[in-house]
């Protein structure tokens, strides 16, 4: 072991950021439950799955595959460089799955029912399988990790039992993992009509597990490199490295050659990256095969849409570049190049999952989804918590190395330094709570202020649909057939202009018995046809016949059936709909018009109400704009009509057509 | 096997069915009114049915299609959505965990979520389960002034649909939407305007459970073979290591400690 002394703690700044994200995340988590999903996320009925499910859960699980792959290589096959990475791999898997499941608690609508799938089964559902495998696998990773934790915590007997069972755990873990990684892909098989053709592949489950295996190995290589960079650069970056903050005292403690240009652990990183690249090359071949065999995917790629660009970027980053880079010899020798390769592949893997789960649905949803601030903050808050747990565990347990044992022997491994944030001398690996508390004091109120959802809410436009007529509304949009060619009607302004509350009768019939707020569509039922509404004579006969009142003559008696004692008073009459709604239907054009008994078409009813008054005022007040279609139809007029057509001409056109 | 037949030629778009639906399902009328303008297709947790325009002068009511092989039923991980004996696809809010996979799985974009609620549930048409139990017909079919919504046995409705097309071949496109699409739906449409505009697929489109459940059912086989092969490899490797290095060889040599 080379004796290194770091003058500064390289993890300090990272931990600061993680603490800040954690505290902001806690605030966001609270707000999420106080205000509900709708107010705090940008999810909606068109985009029901967003950042938390796709990025935290599906990308997260994909990146945490190293737990079972390295477990297989190291623990089952006993392959040499990988066996040393089993513990870190299990830790990454444990934290990765833990973070994913934790983030899901914020995503699902009723998180206190997270245990339901254990009790209520649907064995036909992919999500059911994913849930069972992921939660069981999370327990397995914990059991696999526990001997490492128990090494320090005591309980040697339990540790012995768990260590003995490790082989069984690994095998069960591998089975569960291969099942849920395929099923995470199969989840999207249920959306053949919705997912973009580039990503909707019949072999999506295979693509998911192969890419996850490759990308997971790459992420572990990156973490190993970073670990070395933070705590012991010589192990990966080589004995000669003397950079800011790092003083190499005695190089080559375990190497006979003295200062070696290559770190003693670089071959581990190289093995991981190379293994990852082999798997990714298989993935690349599958992807190419998938493209070649699916004509709709080829067409979509050549269409040159933003999806095809994204697809190319994703594939370059996830597979093509990492595989090509590993083929270059200097890349395999440079810890920096290896880290870049691993980082690219891990990024590409995460991007692939986001492409499948989010970007691939944009076209079908007809809208773009960008996560809200609270979604982002919870996403990164959860990851930051996992990061802090990661630092805590690797510094206090034998995961990568036995640092904690040596720290217990000799107090100082980092030399003391003045910390400008807390204004104290810090000399410990874990700087302690005062620093975190200070960050909390700054971040908590700031996050509360910036994330508080009522500040972010936008008010919906004031115009409402005029279907259930509400006389109190200022502005109505009249668009009976909802084709967008609506008329904007300033209801309140018209009411005031025409004489206040008494003026309703100017436009509204108010003639439907016992009803003051009858929608126009009540009688003017068809957009372009007349509607039979009421035949009084016939009613007299019908009522008389129905009630056995003796035919036509005793009409006074039959009146009472509708007009409750006072004949011919609208106020006292029954509403038509009380007796029958099914009798109202559009006039059959073949039978001609029933002039006195038919309501005009909705279209005519609207126009005949507005146009005469508008036309008159256009002339008398010399305001020609009142006489234009576009005065009311601000969003366009039907095809074949000019925008600035005068209303009178329109009426003439309509008359000529009829 | 109940269902509904919606005759697009009869619908005038008055949305009486929506008002009746809002009332029957206890939805918030103000929210229903607002969602009509803000929801892309008019459906929301407060508007379980809506009327969609097709072109300039045609309308089609939209709600849950009550598929014969529903994708949502197959997708729900807690079995919270089931297809009842009469053919209605119904939802059990007591099981739901709020994962929203049904919303992703539905090929018609029907299930909606109560986004503004603090304890949110999925909402969709359940063919007026309670009204049916009381011997009434669904509220929308009851309310339609045009008789554009016929309620009854699906077989009867299919016959009626073909009869109407046969009697007036010029007035309809010769196709009953929902007869075969996605394995068939309980809600059927006849129309003189092409419903492909509303996102209907070609009639030979397979039902989604039919497409994915064979993959799901392969799980035990995949799991079993992975388990067997990994355990087998493990056994072989251990045995070889024991033969080469003695009985303790397999329990050391890994663990990441760097001394």
Residues of A in contact with B227 (CB under 8 A): 171-172, 175
Report the chain B residue with the minimal C-alpha distance to residue A194.
Answer: B107
Res A330 pLDDT > 80: yes
B187-190 and B2-7 as β-strands: parallel, antiparallel, unpaired? parallel
Residue B143 is part of a domain; what is its CATH number?
3.30.70.20
Q: Residue B177's beta-bridge partner residues?
A: B189
Helix (H, G, I), strand (E, B) or coil at A34: helix
Residues 185-224 of A with CB under 8 A from B: 186-187, 189-194, 205
Helix (H, G, I), strand (E, B) or coil at A580: coil
B149-153 and B2-7 as β-strands: parallel, antiparallel, unpaired? antiparallel
Distance CA(B58)–CA(B51), nearest Å, equals: 10
Biggest alpha carbon distance in chain A? 126
Report the chain A residue with the minimal C-alpha distance to residue B217.
Answer: A124
Question: Taking the C-alpha atoms of B157, B163, B168 and B174 in order, what is their torsion angle to the nearest 10 degrees?
Answer: 70
Q: Cite the DSSP H helix spans in A154-248.
A: 156-164, 166-186, 204-231, 234-237
Report the chain B residue with the minimal C-alpha distance to residue A131.
Answer: B77
Q: Which of B79, B103, B223 sits opposite A179 (nearest CB)?
A: B223
Which residues form the domain of B245?
A: 218-251
Distance CA(A228)–CA(A85), nearest Å, equals: 13
B123 within some domain:
yes
**B52 and B108 share a domain?**
yes
Q: Which residue has the higher pLDDT, B104 or A614?
A: B104
Q: Residue A248's beta-bridge partner residues?
A: A4
A414 phi/psi in degrees, rounded to 5: -105, 135
Res A331 pLDDT > 80: yes
Res A288 pLDDT > 50: yes
Q: Which residue has the higher pLDDT, A470 or A487?
A: A487
Helix (H, G, I), strand (E, B) or coil at A241: coil
Say whether B77 and A175 touch across the interface (CB within 8 A): no
**B24 and B107 share a domain?**
yes
Residues of B in contact with A170 (CB under 8 A): 234
B59 phi/psi in degrees, rounded to 5: -135, 145
Q: Which of A83, A116, A402 sits opposite B254 (nearest CB)?
A: A83
Q: Which of B96, B201, B255 sits opposite A86 (nearest CB)?
A: B255
Res A249 pLDDT > 50: no
The vertex-A58 CA angle with A56 and A59, nearest 5°, equals 70
Helix (H, G, I), strand (E, B) or coil at B32: helix
Q: Which of B59, B107, B226 sits opposite A175 (nearest CB)?
A: B226
For residue range A67-110, what is the model confidence (pLDDT) as tens digits?
999 999 998 998 988 988 999 999 999 999 999 999 999 999 99
Closest approach of B155 to chain A, Cα-based (Å): 24
Q: What is the pLDDT of residue A3?
A: 43
**B227 and B174 share a domain?**
no
CB A271 within 8 A of CB A82: yes
Instruction: Give CA B80 to chain center in angstroms.
Output: 12
Q: Residue A488's beta-bridge partner residues?
A: A477
Distance CA(B8)–CA(B52), nearest Å, equals: 10
CB A399 within 8 A of CB A91: yes
**Site from B78, B193, B222, B244 to mutate, A interface, most A CB atoms within 10 angstroms:** B78
Tell the burial category of A498 from Cβ atoms under 10 Å away from its Cβ (0-12, 13-18, 19+).
middle
Summary mean pLDDT of chain A: 79
Q: What is the pLDDT of residue B41?
A: 85
Q: What is the pLDDT of residue A166?
A: 86
Instruction: Give CA A188 to chain center in angstroms.
Output: 15
Q: Cite the DSSP H helix spans in A232-359.
A: 234-237, 266-293, 295-302, 306-315, 321-327, 329-333, 335-357
Alpha-carbon distance values, A390 to A216, A218, A386 (Å): 17, 18, 6
Secondary structure string (H, E, C) spanning A378-389: HHHHHHHHHHHH
A494 phi/psi in degrees, rounded to 5: -65, -40
Q: Residue A250's beta-bridge partner residues?
A: A3
Q: Record the tokens describing residue B13, joined without a space.
A: 């778009």
DSSP letter at B7 equals: E
Listed in sequence order, the residues at least 6 apart from B194 whose beta carbon sits closer than 8 Å to its beta carbon are B54, B173
**Site from A190, A400, A466, A483 to mutate, B interface, most B CB atoms within 10 angstroms:** A190
Say whether A367 and B40 touch across the interface (CB within 8 A): yes
Report the chain B residue with the minimal C-alpha distance to residue A35.
Answer: B118
Say whether B100 and A109 touch across the interface (CB within 8 A): yes
Residues of A in contact with B36 (CB under 8 A): 465, 467
**B67 and B111 share a domain?**
yes
Say whether A108 and B201 touch across the interface (CB within 8 A): no
Listed in sequence order, the residues at least 6 apart from A344 whose beta carbon sits closer than 8 Å to its beta carbon are A317, A318, A321, A322, A325
- Number of separate domains in chain B: 2
CB A600 within 8 A of CB A523: no
pTM, 2 dp:
0.76
Q: Report which of A231, A219, A215 is spatially closest to residue A5, judged by C-alpha positions.
A: A231
Report the chain B residue with the minimal C-alpha distance to residue A110.
Answer: B97
Q: What is the pLDDT of residue A472?
A: 46
**B86 and B160 share a domain?**
yes
B58-62 and B81-83 as β-strands: parallel, antiparallel, unpaired? unpaired
ipTM score of the complex?
0.90
Name the pLDDT band for A251 (thresholds 50, 70, 90): very low
Distance CA(B61)–CA(B67), nearest Å, equals: 16
**B177 and B237 share a domain?**
no
For residue range A425-438, what is the model confidence (pLDDT) as tens digits?
555 544 556 778 88
**B73 and B170 share a domain?**
yes
**B141 and B242 share a domain?**
no
Listed in sequence order, the residues at least 6 apart from A306 whose beta carbon sits closer than 8 Å to its beta carbon are none
Closest approach of A35 to chain B, Cα-based (Å): 7
Q: What is the pLDDT of residue A528?
A: 72
**B153 and B27 share a domain?**
yes
Query: H/E element holding A391?
Result: helix A373-396
Q: Report which of A351, A202, A359 is spatially closest to residue A286, judged by C-alpha positions.
A: A202
pLDDT truncated to tens, each residue of chain B (259 aa)? 899 999 998 887 777 888 899 989 999 887 887 787 678 888 999 999 998 878 656 788 999 999 999 999 999 999 999 999 999 999 999 999 999 999 999 999 999 999 988 899 999 999 999 999 999 999 999 988 778 999 999 999 999 999 999 999 998 999 999 999 999 999 999 999 899 888 898 888 889 998 888 888 888 898 999 999 999 999 999 889 888 876 554 444 443 333 2
CB A406 within 8 A of CB A413: yes
Query: H/E element holding B52?
Result: strand B50-54
Say whether A482 and B51 touch across the interface (CB within 8 A): yes
Name the pLDDT band for A594 (thresholds 50, 70, 90): very low
- The share of chain A scoring above pLDDT 70, in percent, equals 68
> For residues A362-396, b (16+ Cβ closer than 10 Å) or e, as one string?
bbbbeeebebbbbbbbbbbbbbbbbbbbbbebbbe
Q: Which residue has the higher pLDDT, A89 or A551?
A: A89
| Region of poorest pLDDT, from A3-17, A160-174, A311-325 | A3-17
Alpha-carbon distance values, A30 to A38, A40, A383, A448 (Å): 14, 11, 17, 10
**B100 and B153 share a domain?**
yes
Q: What is the pLDDT of residue B4?
A: 95
Say whether A124 and B213 touch across the interface (CB within 8 A): yes
Q: What is the pLDDT of residue B12?
A: 74
Residues 227-286 of A with CB under 8 A from B: none
Residues 362-401 of A with CB under 8 A from B: 366-367, 398-401
Residues of B in contact with A123 (CB under 8 A): 216
Instruction: Give CA B67 to chain center in angstroms.
Output: 7
Alpha-carbon distance values, A644 to A634, A639, A653 (Å): 11, 13, 14
Res A554 pLDDT > 90: no
Residues 146-205 of B with CB under 8 A from A: 146-147, 199, 201
Q: Record the tokens describing residue B50, joined without a space.
A: 């809506």
**B233 and B144 share a domain?**
no
Listed in sequence order, the residues at least 6 apart from A50 whose beta carbon sits closer than 8 Å to its beta carbon are A41, A42, A43, A107, A358, A369, A371, A375
Report the chain A residue with the minimal C-alpha distance to residue B120.
Answer: A109
| Region of poorest pLDDT, from A352-366, A505-519, A594-608, B141-155 | A505-519
**B92 and B12 share a domain?**
yes
Q: Which of B34, B40, B217 sits opposite A464 (nearest CB)?
A: B34
CB proximity A589 to B under 8 Å: no
Q: What is the pLDDT of residue A468?
A: 32
Distance CA(B244)–CA(A616), nearest Å, equals: 108
Distance CA(A117)–CA(A131), nearest Å, equals: 7
| Region of poorest pLDDT, from A8-22, A606-620, A622-636 | A622-636
Residues 545-584 of A with CB under 8 A from B: 581-582, 584
Q: Report which of B59, B70, B200 is spatially closest to residue B124, judged by C-alpha positions.
A: B70
Distance CA(B253)–CA(A75), nearest Å, equals: 10
Residues of A in contact with B52 (CB under 8 A): 482
B213 within some domain:
no
Q: Which of A170, A400, A584 sits opposite B256 (nearest CB)?
A: A400
Tell the burial category of A318 from Cβ atoms under 10 Å away from its Cβ (0-12, 13-18, 19+).
buried
CB A344 within 8 A of CB A322: yes
Q: What is the pLDDT of residue A587?
A: 53
Q: Cite the DSSP H helix spans in A397-516.
A: 403-409, 433-451, 491-498
Distance CA(B171)–CA(B187), nearest Å, equals: 20
Distance CA(B241)–CA(B259), nearest Å, equals: 23
Query: H/E element holding A100?
Result: helix A86-107
B259 within some domain:
no
B187 within some domain:
yes
Residues 88-107 of B with CB under 8 A from A: 95-101, 103-105, 107
Helix (H, G, I), strand (E, B) or coil at A572: helix
Domains along chain A with CATH numbers: 10-404 (1.20.1630.10), 475-533+584-657 (3.90.10)
CB proximity B210 to A under 8 Å: no
Q: Which residue has the higher pLDDT, A183 or A474?
A: A183
Q: Report which of A495, A201, A177 is spatially closest to residue A360, judged by C-alpha positions.
A: A201
Residues 332-361 of A with CB under 8 A from B: none
Report the chain B residue with the minimal C-alpha distance to residue A522.
Answer: B14
Res A12 pLDDT > 60: yes
First to last CA, chain A: 98
Residue tagged 């509204």 (tokens): A508
Closest approach of B114 to chain A, Cα-based (Å): 8
CB proximity B65 to A under 8 Å: no
Q: Which of B39, B79, B145 sits opposite A121 (nearest CB)?
A: B79
């Amino acid at each position: 072991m080379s004796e290194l002394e770091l003058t500064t703690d390289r993890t300090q700044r990272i931990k600061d950021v993680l603490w800040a994200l954690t505290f902001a995340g806690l605030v966001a988590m609270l707000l999420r439950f106080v205000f509900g999903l709708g107010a705090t996320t940008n999810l909606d009925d068109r985009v029901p799955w967003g950042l938390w499910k796709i990025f935290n859960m599906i990308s997260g699980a994909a990146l945490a595959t190293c737990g079972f792959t390295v477990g297989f290589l190291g623990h089952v096959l006993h392959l040499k460089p990988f066996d040393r990475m089993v513990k870190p791999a299990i830790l990454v898997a444990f934290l990765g799955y833990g973070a994913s499941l934790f983030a899901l608690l914020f995503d699902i609508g009723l998180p206190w029912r997270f245990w339901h799938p254990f009790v209520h089964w649907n064995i036909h559902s992919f999500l059911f399988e994913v849930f069972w495998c992921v939660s069981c696998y999370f327990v397995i990773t914990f059991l696999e990790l526990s001997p490492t934790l128990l090494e320090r915590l005591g309980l040697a007997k339990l540790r012995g039992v768990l260590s003995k069972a490790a082989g069984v755990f690994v095998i069960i873990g591998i089975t569960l993992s291969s099942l849920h990684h395929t099923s995470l892909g199969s989840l999207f098989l249920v959306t053949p009509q919705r997912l973009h053709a580039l990503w909707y592949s019949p072999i999506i489950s295979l693509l998911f597990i192969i890419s996850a295996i490759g990308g997971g190995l790459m992420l572990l290589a990156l973490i190993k490199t970073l670990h070395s960079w933070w705590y012991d650069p010589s192990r990966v970056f080589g004995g000669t490295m003397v950079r800011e903050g790092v003083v190499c005292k005695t190089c080559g403690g375990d190497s006979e050659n003295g200062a070696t240009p290559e770190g003693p652990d670089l071959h581990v990183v190289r093995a991981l990256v190379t293994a990852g690249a082999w798997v990714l090359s298989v993935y690349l071949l599958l992807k190419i095969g998938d493209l070649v065999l699916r004509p709709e995917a080829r067409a979509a790629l050549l269409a040159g849409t933003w999806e095809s660009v994204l697809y190319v970027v994703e594939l370059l980053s996830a597979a093509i570049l990492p595989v090509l880079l590993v083929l270059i010899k200097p890349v395999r020798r440079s810890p920096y190049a290896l880290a870049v390769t691993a980082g690219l592949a891990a990024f590409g893997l995460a991007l692939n999952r986001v492409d499948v789960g989010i970007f691939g649905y944009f076209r079908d949803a007809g809208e773009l989804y960008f996560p809200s601030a609270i979604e982002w903050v919870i996403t990164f808050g959860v990851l930051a918590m996992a990061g802090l747990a990661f630092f805590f565990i690797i510094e206090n347990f034998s995961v990568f190395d036995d640092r904690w044992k040596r720290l217990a022997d000799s107090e100082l491994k980092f030399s003391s330094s003045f910390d400008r944030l807390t204004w104290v001398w810090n000399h410990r690996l874990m700087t302690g709570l005062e620093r975190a508390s200070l960050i909390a004091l700054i971040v908590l109120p700031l996050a509360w202020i910036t994330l508080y959802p009522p500040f972010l809410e936008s008010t919906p436009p004031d115009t409402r649909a005029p279907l259930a007529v509400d006389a109190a509304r200022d502005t109505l949009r009249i668009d009976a057939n909802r084709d967008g060619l609506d008329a904007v009607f300033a209801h309140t302004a018209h009411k005031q202009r025409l004489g206040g509350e008494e003026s309703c009768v100017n436009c509204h019939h108010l003639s439907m018995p016992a009803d003051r707020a009858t929608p126009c569509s009540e009688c003017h039922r068809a957009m372009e046809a007349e509607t039979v509404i009421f035949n009084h004579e016939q009613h007299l006969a019908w009522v008389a016949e129905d009630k056995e009142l003796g035919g036509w003559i005793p009409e006074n008696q039959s009146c009472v059936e509708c007009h409750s004692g006072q004949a011919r008073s609208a106020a006292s009459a029954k509403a038509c709909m009380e007796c029958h709604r099914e009798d109202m239907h559009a006039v059959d054009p073949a039978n001609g018009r029933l002039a006195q008994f038919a309501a005009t078409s909705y279209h005519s009813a609207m126009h005949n109400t507005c146009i005469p008054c508008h036309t008159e005022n256009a002339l008398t007040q010399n305001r020609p704009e009142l006489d234009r279609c576009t005065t009311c139809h601000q969003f366009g007029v039907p095809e074949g009509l000019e925008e600035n057509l005068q209303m009178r001409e329109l009426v003439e056109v309509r008359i000529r057509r009829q | 096997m109940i269902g509904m037949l919606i005759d697009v030629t009869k619908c005038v778009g008055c949305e009486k069915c929506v008002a009746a639906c809002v009332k029957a399902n206890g939805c918030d009328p103000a929210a229903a009114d607002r969602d009509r303008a803000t929801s892309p297709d008019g459906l929301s947790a407060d508007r379980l049915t809506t009327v969609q325009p097709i072109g300039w002068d045609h309308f089609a009511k939209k709600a849950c299609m009550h598929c014969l092989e529903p994708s949502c039923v197959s997708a729900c991980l807690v079995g919270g959505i089931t297809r009842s004996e009469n053919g209605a696809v119904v939802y059990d809010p007591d099981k739901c965990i709020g994962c929203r996979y049904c919303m992703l799985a539905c090929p018609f974009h029907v299930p909606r979520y109560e986004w503004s609620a603090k304890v949110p549930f999925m909402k969709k048409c359940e063919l007026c389960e309670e009204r049916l139990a009381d011997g009434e017909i669904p509220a929308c079919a009851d309310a339609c002034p045009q008789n554009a919504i016929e309620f009854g046995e699906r077989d009867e409705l299919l016959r009626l649909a073909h009869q109407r097309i046969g009697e007036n071949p010029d007035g309809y496109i010769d196709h009953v939407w929902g007869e075969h699409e996605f394995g068939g739906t309980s809600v059927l449409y006849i129309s003189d305007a092409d419903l492909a505009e509303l996102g209907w697929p070609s009639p030979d489109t397979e039902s989604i459970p039919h497409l994915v459940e064979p993959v799901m059912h392969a799980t035990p086989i995949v799991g079993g073979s992975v388990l067997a092969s990994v355990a087998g490899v493990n056994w072989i490797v251990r045995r070889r290591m024991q033969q080469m290095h003695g009985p303790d060889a397999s329990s050391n040599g890994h663990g990441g400690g760097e001394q």
